[in-house]
Structure 1
């Protein structure tokens, strides 16, 4: 296959370009042709009615767009893209991969990564290995939450990576026993609901003549200096310099005497930190900052022409450079005159004045107390004049690619150019905004906007020598679309080969709110209704977030080819959000094959759930089963054979072994109970009752599949694991975190399996496990009850059970060689609890289940809204039984009796409940 980055159909004239098989005389002709088609589309109400369509005029959307490669609205050329670059699904084509971990700390210092900031970014160098692993050159990659477009950069990097990088990857893969990757570009679709995100993604992924860009940039900055340089000029005696930033301080009123207090002069200590108490310079009252009253002044807003209030701010410090030396001083009369002169200038006609919508950050905190209402409130007059002047000049640039790149470097600096830039005298930086939030400090650092913008130019210049800079003829194989991930129109079912995505993490970041600042300058705004986040202001809690994510994952499942993989990078410390992601994935049909931390440490479910466990960013590897598995399930129904068919298929997708730092690790997804959970989710998702009880499944698994170190394997896999195991210094150990009754039973099973013990021996060991990690609302069971319901105790009669005999013979010298009926052995074994063999554990399980269901009946009869304490095992058993009986009403009724966070923080309960809601809605 031809290199996708220079794919053409034989054009040989210098300026000719080919796009989607059409040859144009030049780029301008190509752009004009597709812009005309897009303009016609925008007039169609049905086109504008698409899910996630941004808020903006036709003119603003067209100005941002560069069709067909990028549209600031749903991209109508995705079908054409797939017809041109994609390959139809072929069920006969062999494809097999194991899940692969991603280390997203890789590449964060790379110039490409740092070229433009975004709220969350996975570096392209961290994505490249995954694309190489799961795909081959020519395979289509999708990122439905594309953000700044790093997945597209990574897909193209596979074709232009430097020799040194290729050698490093190939060496690492060879050491891990893997075949060398197949280098070459992968065509990519990038989609995001945010217009500013897709605009950044497009600029990252499409051609730029850096030499022409720098030439235009230098011309514009020369003009800016001529027209606006006087705003930052300093004349300090014999020194002539240039302002780096001006500090503005808020003015407060003393609550005791009503005198004005200049925050900068009276609230900072000698190190530049805010004092615990502030002494009023007028009445000597000792005051805390919260006791001070912010002073306001009434103005005629130049942007809205309406009377309003704004905080009183005074310039208190000028930081400037003269002859390469930095100086700080109080503002002079000249400085103040310049500030007044700028304030008296006409309001820029191209500056945005739109009002902030209702959002979390305007309801609370400093945005509320400082009465920020409109976009232009975030900019002091000097900054607003320079930014507006810069944009006016950029709009006159003829080269569209250069024009768009110049726009990018400006929006990169919007926050730094605004009053969100804090003066921080105690820090080494001196000034910086608070990331991830709109926060207006009492001390604002008004930056030199000309220098800020010039600094962004240098970011791109530094990339000139990288493979990204040298490979900037790329971009023909990356299409970018602005739409909801829940409906990516134009992508046929089963047409994408691999998905790498980094979705929103609950309420960690308010993306559309933060992007409102930048998007206002473009005039194209994110549709917040379909944004998948937790946002109380917009009425989106965890359940709403889960449903939005489920809709997005359902779309990903639809477009992904059967048997192919999706990698989800996820970052959130809240168990409820993590569960929402897992349940949403399983509800739509994906099967989770591995959950890894970003430094490639595998995470158990208990680790992910335990409040006292170290929380790290996660990588979730899931696959879409091939169509044959669903077909066989449809033919057999809820039969045990269907369960074992799923297990057979699932084990084939899991890694045979994992190593870290030379040590063999447990492959958590091969744990018997984890496999059972995946099987249950599979049947529930397909609206079938679960055909096997836990013990029937565990016994069947042990009989049907080879077991090693607590893990299940296919017969053809176990030989490979045995080889790895023989080379390892020690057997892998699975960590167990006790946080509820189920994990307590698992811990006891592991403990007693190695060391059959009396109650007195096990009690202190067990008690140490019941620390701060115990789940809220979960009733703590008595150890005696756990032992009686799940294990056997030797009463001294009959022969000593083999489990106890083996342990005593191995650990007590005086008992070695004794027969099972020897009185000395029986005496030592008496009252020891041990793990029953499979034949007896099945009977115990049935007895335990009857007890759990009896208690579940009691829960059903409890009056009132909430169950304050309960046993999760009782709820799980009851929900499972009710599901099998299609008694969805009972599941929903009990779910409403327990606290919402308890439901959201348990993956199993959430799965039953969500499916019950879906079935009830379908039957209504």
Structure 2
């Protein structure tokens, strides 16, 4: 058991699936690199890792590869079949030999159904694809187009069906299917497009069933072996492409392109493609062989269980070191209703009654109430089997409030403590698409729960406390976003905040928008919420989100990689730091990134004359008043945050005259008159000491800390002001702190190390980068850093 105090908190970019996970279709398969990262973080070698909804087996397989002891559990024997065969080792030579044997046998028995005449050389050719159109009036299917391949002249052609093409199909229609094939009824479900009385066999035309039934018989006649198992796996993996579920579409001017089973449900397109089923089987075997190129030498590390997640009878209490799981997302994927396509051929029974799911099927009685009941029992069971002070990671991606509430409340009411949540971004190709205009942040939420050493009775406050929490969270998000935020942006922050504090159930029956309307104004034209009261004053209470994003980008670019940076180098730290309501929209990231860098050959390089802001406030030709306001708000917000930290440490606070003139909020927390023992009021004014941005001081101890925030003014401007105070009080070692954007760090270092400036300032000098300041302000807010260590954590001494 690994002792973990702080849960995993980094955003991770999902890699594309490795070849072993591409052998067989499965829904919502989690990225293996992400699962592996979590397992490595939360466990040691030989620890026991459980996934109660293990599905296609990613958690168990990745845990086993890391030399952990994995427990695979899933209600579905079909899912277990897919997972086991994903990691089962085979003799590839034997597999290929059996494959060829099956192919030759089935080809001999079924080639008459696909034999035609080549229109180029009049030799015997083979039908590879047939495109069908369902005619609604007659309720019949019309053969529209045939694709053939001729071995004699190597000709491949698309053509209008000939008499020979039609004859071959009619032969299959009239001849009786001799071998067994599944004829089970499917579960009626309008959402999945399964009609009353629909059978599995209805998903195939008769010619496909001739071929599939013979392939299956040939496989089942083999002696038991891993190779036979993987041939069955190859067969089930090829079924969808041999069915009527294959749409025909046009792409880039090319007509009659063949698709795949990518549409949710069992949608049989009006225009579909019948692919030669034997070809489907052989083509799928190529993917299987690629997936089996690497031997899996950790099979013994996995125990296989097929039972309900709410009744883990084979697992003793307090025996599991870590649980990683991806529970069913309400009605997103009714797994068993989908799996009937494969289970029927495998002759497996599916336990529909105990599936944790919301289904639109009227026959199943699987509604939100049943879903919540079973999910509650599941988390109670997970709490039972997990060791004390160990961790449960739950992945989730569902926007329905009821489903979200069912998950969170079930976990918390079972005794788990909600510690944090992380984003997992979609894979590299998609992450590049994130920066397209108008795009939005995509990905899953991974929630880390902890089982405490003893069960805690969690107090649930009254509704007014909940609503106050909503107001606090919303105001923070609106202020950080420059005074306006969309409902979606607010909802992200509100839901996670309420969830973490176990408050969600209190508002499940309320509309969040109605609650927001009591405190904030909604702009219908822009679709955003605004502050109703003290807007201008409140804008300095939090550091603007754009400033925070800018600091992260500067921090990355300051590493000076000559080869350039991947997009993920920016996205990962941004999404790690700024989550939920603070998660930036990709438009914001794009605008800031493109100001500072340019893309070349997929890499981002810093612009040669990059500046954090477009110009200096003091240049005469500056004309954009909105940009001036933006910079001033940022400048004042940083002063405000640092002043609050000083107040918490019992310092008196002085804020510069210029800043106080422009901000009521800054005036409120600053003393009215700066008084320094040994320095007259006139000297303070004439030497411009009273214009220093921020001073923390304790007059009784003779302690002073000076802060200048240099986001827009010339660095040289602040040096005389600072030097004046250190000169007036030479007997004190007054530390000077300069807060700067990361991208002007080198410029600042050079300025303060200039010999002429060194003479002016003899006190200890420190630089504080934006990125360090912002990160540690968040740590302080979340009580992850001691207040007395705050300055030492953010300041870097200049020697």
Aligned residue for 1:218? Answer: 100
Aligned residue for 1:463? Answer: 291
Are the counterparts in 1 of residues 22 and 291 from structure 2 also a CA contact under 8 Å?
no
For each residue in 1:699-735, what CA deviation from the matched residue of structure 2 results, as whole angstroms up to 9, or x when unmatched? xxxxxxxxxx999xxxxxxxxxxxx9xx99x999878
Residues 218 and 638 of structure 1: is their aligned pair in 2 closer, same or farther, counting only changes over 3 Å?
A: closer
Aligned residue for 1:410? Answer: 235
* Residue in structure 1 matching 2:223, options 398, 402, 415: 398
Question: Within 1, Cα distance between the matches of 2:460 and 2:172?
Answer: 79
Aligned residue for 1:112? Answer: 20
Aligned residue for 1:548? Answer: 374
* Residue in structure 2 matching 1:241, options 102, 125, 137: 125
Residues 410 and 733 of structure 1: is their aligned pair in 2 closer, same or farther, counting only changes over 3 Å?
A: closer
Indicate yes or no: 2:260 matched with 1:432: yes
- Partner of 2:233: helix, strand, or coil? helix
Residues 813 and 619 of structure 1: is their aligned pair in 2 closer, same or farther, counting only changes over 3 Å?
A: closer
Residues 807 and 118 of structure 1: is their aligned pair in 2 closer, same or farther, counting only changes over 3 Å?
A: farther
* Residue in structure 2 matching 1:621, options 448, 460, 464: 448
- Partner of 2:283: helix, strand, or coil? helix
Question: Within 1, Cα distance between the matches of 2:499 and 2:269?
Answer: 50
Q: How does 1:829-868 map to 2 (within 5 A)?
A: none
Residues 146 and 680 of structure 1: is their aligned pair in 2 closer, same or farther, counting only changes over 3 Å?
A: closer
* Residue in structure 2 matching 1:388, options 177, 197, 213: 213
* Residue in structure 2 matching 1:147, options 52, 55, 63: 55
Q: How does 1:642-653 map to 2 (within 5 A)?
A: none
Question: Within 2, Cα distance between the matches of 1:570 and 1:460?
Answer: 30
Are the counterparts in 2 of residues 147 and 197 from structure 1 also a CA contact under 8 Å?
yes
Are the counterparts in 2 of residues 201 and 480 from structure 1 also a CA contact under 8 Å?
no
For each residue in 1:805-853, what CA deviation from the matched residue of structure 2 results, as whole angstroms up to 9, or x when unmatched? 95977332898984499xxxxxxxxxxxxxxxxxxxxxxxxxxxxxxxx
Residues 562 and 156 of structure 1: is their aligned pair in 2 closer, same or farther, counting only changes over 3 Å?
A: same
For each residue in 1:526-577, what CA deviation from the matched residue of structure 2 results, as whole angstroms up to 9, or x when unmatched? 2222222222333333333222222212211111111111111211122332
Indicate yes or no: 2:660 matched with 1:811: yes
Aligned residue for 2:331? Answer: 507
Are the counterparts in 2 of residues 102 and 126 from structure 1 also a CA contact under 8 Å?
no
Q: How does 1:429-578 map to 2 (within 5 A)?
A: 429-465=257-293, 469-471=294-296, 473-537=297-361, 538-578=364-404
Residues 108 and 614 of structure 1: is their aligned pair in 2 closer, same or farther, counting only changes over 3 Å?
A: closer
Q: How does 1:357-368 map to 2 (within 5 A)?
A: 357-361=187-191, 365=193, 367-368=194-195
- Partner of 2:300: helix, strand, or coil? coil
- Please report how far the alpha carbon of residue 481 of structure 1 lies from its aligned counterpart in structure 2 after TM superposition: 2.1
Are the counterparts in 1 of residues 496 and 580 from structure 2 also a CA contact under 8 Å?
no
- Please report how far the alpha carbon of residue 399 of structure 1 lies from its aligned counterpart in structure 2 after TM superposition: 3.5
Are the counterparts in 2 of residues 436 and 514 from structure 1 also a CA contact under 8 Å?
no
- Partner of 1:412: helix, strand, or coil? helix
Aligned residue for 1:328? Answer: 158
- Please report how far the alpha carbon of residue 737 of structure 1 lies from its aligned counterpart in structure 2 after TM superposition: 5.0
- Please report how far the alpha carbon of residue 243 of structure 1 lies from its aligned counterpart in structure 2 after TM superposition: 2.1
* Residue in structure 1 matching 2:185, options 314, 334, 355: 355
- Partner of 1:243: helix, strand, or coil? strand
In structure 1, runs of 5+ residues without a counterpart are 1-92, 159-184, 254-294, 297-311, 602-611, 641-667, 685-708, 712-723, 739-764, 766-801, 822-924
Are the counterparts in 1 of residues 12 and 423 from structure 2 also a CA contact under 8 Å?
no
For each residue in 1:361-416, what CA deviation from the matched residue of structure 2 results, as whole angstroms up to 9, or x when unmatched? 46xx5x44xx7621111111111011110110101111331111111111112121
Aligned residue for 2:412? Answer: 586
- Partner of 2:56: helix, strand, or coil? coil
* Residue in structure 1 matching 2:200, options 375, 378, 383: 375
Question: Within 1, Cα distance between the matches of 2:305 and 2:444?
Answer: 27
- Please report how far the alpha carbon of residue 357 of structure 1 lies from its aligned counterpart in structure 2 after TM superposition: 2.5
- Partner of 2:260: helix, strand, or coil? strand
- Please report how far the alpha carbon of residue 244 of structure 1 lies from its aligned counterpart in structure 2 after TM superposition: 2.1
* Residue in structure 2 matching 1:344, options 145, 166, 174: 174
- Please report how far the alpha carbon of residue 639 of structure 1 lies from its aligned counterpart in structure 2 after TM superposition: 14
For each residue in 1:121-145, what CA deviation from the matched residue of structure 2 results, as whole angstroms up to 9, or x when unmatched? 0132332122121111111111111
Residues 108 and 805 of structure 1: is their aligned pair in 2 closer, same or farther, counting only changes over 3 Å?
A: same
Q: How does 1:740-759 map to 2 (within 5 A)?
A: none
TM-score by length of 2: 0.56
For each residue in 1:874-917, what CA deviation from the matched residue of structure 2 results, as whole angstroms up to 9, or x when unmatched? xxxxxxxxxxxxxxxxxxxxxxxxxxxxxxxxxxxxxxxxxxxx
- Please report how far the alpha carbon of residue 223 of structure 1 lies from its aligned counterpart in structure 2 after TM superposition: 1.7
Question: Within 2, Cα distance between the matches of 1:449 and 1:736?
Answer: 47
Are the counterparts in 2 of residues 562 and 625 from structure 1 also a CA contact under 8 Å?
yes
Indicate yes or no: 2:86 matched with 1:204: yes
- Please report how far the alpha carbon of residue 598 of structure 1 lies from its aligned counterpart in structure 2 after TM superposition: 0.6
Question: Within 2, Cα distance between the matches of 1:453 and 1:436?
Answer: 23
- Partner of 2:208: helix, strand, or coil? helix
- Please report how far the alpha carbon of residue 360 of structure 1 lies from its aligned counterpart in structure 2 after TM superposition: 3.4
Are the counterparts in 2 of residues 570 and 618 from structure 1 also a CA contact under 8 Å?
yes
- Please report how far the alpha carbon of residue 683 of structure 1 lies from its aligned counterpart in structure 2 after TM superposition: 14
Indicate yes or no: 2:7 matched with 1:99: yes
Question: Within 1, Cα distance between the matches of 2:426 and 2:207?
Answer: 49
Residues 735 and 433 of structure 1: is their aligned pair in 2 closer, same or farther, counting only changes over 3 Å?
A: closer
Question: Within 1, Cα distance between the matches of 2:244 and 2:189?
Answer: 19
Are the counterparts in 1 of residues 185 and 197 from structure 2 also a CA contact under 8 Å?
no
Q: How does 1:601-612 map to 2 (within 5 A)?
A: none
Residues 385 and 119 of structure 1: is their aligned pair in 2 closer, same or farther, counting only changes over 3 Å?
A: same
Are the counterparts in 1 of residues 76 and 306 from structure 2 also a CA contact under 8 Å?
yes
* Residue in structure 2 matching 1:138, options 46, 54, 65: 46
- Please report how far the alpha carbon of residue 622 of structure 1 lies from its aligned counterpart in structure 2 after TM superposition: 1.1
For each residue in 1:448-477, what CA deviation from the matched residue of structure 2 results, as whole angstroms up to 9, or x when unmatched? 111111111111211343xxx223x44122
In structure 2, runs of 5+ residues without a counterpart are 428-438, 462-489, 507-540, 544-554, 560-572, 583-628, 630-650, 676-799
For each residue in 1:157-178, what CA deviation from the matched residue of structure 2 results, as whole angstroms up to 9, or x when unmatched? 22xxxxxxxxxxxxxxxxxxxx
Residues 500 and 673 of structure 1: is their aligned pair in 2 closer, same or farther, counting only changes over 3 Å?
A: closer
- Please report how far the alpha carbon of residue 582 of structure 1 lies from its aligned counterpart in structure 2 after TM superposition: 1.4
Residues 583 and 683 of structure 1: is their aligned pair in 2 closer, same or farther, counting only changes over 3 Å?
A: closer
Aligned residue for 1:862? Answer: none
Aligned residues: 495
Indicate yes or no: 2:7 matched with 1:123: no
Higher relative contact order (CA 8 A, sep 6+): 1
Residues 564 and 446 of structure 1: is their aligned pair in 2 closer, same or farther, counting only changes over 3 Å?
A: same
Q: How does 1:254-269 map to 2 (within 5 A)?
A: none
- Partner of 1:811: helix, strand, or coil? helix
* Residue in structure 1 matching 2:146, options 318, 323, 327: 318
Residues 249 and 186 of structure 1: is their aligned pair in 2 closer, same or farther, counting only changes over 3 Å?
A: same
Are the counterparts in 2 of residues 145 and 503 from structure 1 also a CA contact under 8 Å?
yes
Residues 218 and 808 of structure 1: is their aligned pair in 2 closer, same or farther, counting only changes over 3 Å?
A: farther
Residues 406 and 737 of structure 1: is their aligned pair in 2 closer, same or farther, counting only changes over 3 Å?
A: closer
